[in-house]
Structure 1
């Protein structure tokens, strides 16, 4: 079962012009109160920064408000948070009968 409320742990951070600390680089989903991400990476050993004030949905590059400097999203964490596998990046224009 996917966690409902996950924060973000990232490999880097940056400060926007308003003084708000935001994630950058590779982002992982992190459940507060644990020392590991949803995919099982230990935060302390991987030297990830915790962003308890940033929700997982806000760190998605396609739709998130705090994803300006996010370069990559962990695929295992995305799957653990309920990302769909059946969304295809291609479209069939002329299907065979």
Structure 2
């Protein structure tokens, strides 16, 4: 099964920039339009997540996204569901065993 290509964003909070553009903040999840749950299976209404249908999933990635100014956490399960690879981990081995 291929990962979804066109996912929007659901977030735990929001902020408005000086131009009046509403952007996600806090914890972000991938959300497929037309469903009431995130890619990782969290129901939007019960978790209190806000929908951002005008923002793409790629735009909230902290490394490259333009709308990632106030994003604190990207859901790892949603990232995996959208096609992130395991070898993109931000860790490195400090003291390897002999």
Runs of 4+, deviation exceeding 6 Å: none
CA positional deviation for 1:86: 1.5
The residue number in structure 1 matching 2:92 is: 90
The residue number in structure 2 matching 1:67 is: 68
TM-score normalized by the length of structure 1: 0.90
User: In structure 1, the residue corresponding to 2:78 is in which secondary structure?
Assistant: helix
CA deviations over 1:30-82 (Å, ceiling 9, x no partner):
00000000000000000100000000000111110001000000000000000
The residue number in structure 1 matching 2:17 is: 16
Aligned length: 93
Gapped regions of structure 2 (runs ≥ 5): none
Structure 1 vs Structure 2 CA RMSD: 1.4
Gapped regions of structure 1 (runs ≥ 5): none
Quote the Cα distance in structure 2 between the aligned partners of 1:91 and 1:12.
34
User: In structure 2, the residue corresponding to 1:78 is in which secondary structure?
Assistant: helix
TM-score normalized by the length of structure 2: 0.89
After TM superposition, the structure 1 = structure 2 runs for residues 5-84 of structure 1, keeping only pairs within 5 Å, are: 5-84=6-85
